[in-house]
Structure 1
């Protein structure tokens, strides 16, 4: 499923407008696939217990700063989008290979090495490492990075892509909101650590991407959502 939402009105109308258009698209297997754990709706307040007093105020939502942060964001995506049975042989090696491939691919897109990607930004939600997060499985070990001598954890992430078309990712009919592809952008790899969902971080990530898109001159954003990802569809 793809949805397109208008960010800025076409000049000169003064009033902002919102236009939504949806088209049936084939769901890509790699980037847009949601695991059963990611699609499941957590109980209200499930992530609150992992946030210590004052932690919520310390959450930073911004464009990535360091390559270590970028790698931590990629690890969060692999952790979110892929699920393996406990007895699966070679699962960790497979995850490491997926993470390395996505890390190199994301660097190439951001640096402009990938054809048709004019501008790409990785936007992350990060939080200081705290004792309360240590109970969140491998979240701290996999998604941790160091900045200014302090350890932080990436708990949410997405990519904002300004591009003409997305090879191997966009299938079917493009959202027909604006014929000028230069003013459209695509959100990809939207994820929030399952232990910290329903704390508003997903909305904060999308809001940040909308503000950055406006700075780029973007008028329309669209995104693919897996048909079984109810939480993603609501977001």
Structure 2
């Protein structure tokens, strides 16, 4: 099932899967009846929505910890209970409505005062390793675009490491294009791979 939280973020959940966004979006299966193992998933069992409970937020956070730090799947539980049913978060991302994110390249669109309320950033995009190559990342990003447009955003950005080819392909497939890249000195100072800034104009944007 995919969820959103109050600082825009998304997640996906399913019987064994879920996704969250600042607001958090989560992707989850409808019920968690079996173990998450590498395989294709029946997408009819997934829901994408805004996170609405503390349990959902914790499950999404645990998915991120185990994914971003390459921990074993069994290390952190990503289950939660909703309406008496066991659910699992299998994907998550955050939608941030703001001028800029800390320690990141700032987008240039829209210009002027509109940038304070019409610019947004995706962050913490994550899908359970066992379910990569099932199109869940694309589904999460598609949902986030709809959420951003509903909020009145006209320009959406995402940062991606220059050496992260799968992520770059995902965002470009979703319509993002190159706008800027991080100076090498800044990446060295922050001790991380250099990042690219990708931009997407949402429907209603005069430049879209």
Shorter-chain TM range is: 0.5 to 0.7
TM-score (norm 1): 0.52
State whether structure 2 residue 107 is matched by structure 1 residue 82: no
Segments of 4+ moved more than 4 angstroms: none
5+ residue gaps in structure 2?
A: 1-36, 171-208
Higher RCO, 1 or 2 (CA under 8 Å, sep at least 6)?
A: 1
Tell me the equivalent position of 1:61: 48
Aligned length: 131
Secondary structure at the aligned position of 1:161 is classed as: strand
Max Rg structure:
1
Q: In structure 1, which of residues 159, 166, 170 is the aligned counterpart of residue 104 of structure 2? A: 170
Tell me the equivalent position of 1:157: 92
Deviation track 1:192-221 (CA, whole Å, cap 9, x = no partner) reads: 011101111111111111111111100111
TM-score (norm 2): 0.58
Q: What RMSD, in angstroms, separates the aligned Cα atoms of the two structures?
A: 2.0
What is the correspondence of 1:5-154 to structure 2 with a 5 Å cutoff? 47-49=38-40, 51=41, 55-83=42-70, 137-138=73-74, 142-154=77-89
Aligned-partner Cα distance in 2 for 1:175–1:163: 10
Kept in 1, the 8 Å contact 2:92–2:126? The answer is yes
5+ residue gaps in structure 1?
A: 1-45, 85-135
Aligned-partner Cα distance in 1 for 2:146–2:38: 26
Deviation track 1:120-171 (CA, whole Å, cap 9, x = no partner) reads: xxxxxxxxxxxxxxxx8327x511111011111100000000012323x324
State whether structure 2 residue 118 is matched by structure 1 residue 187: no
Kept in 2, the 8 Å contact 1:47–1:199? The answer is no
Which one has a larger percent strand, Structure 1 or Structure 2?
2
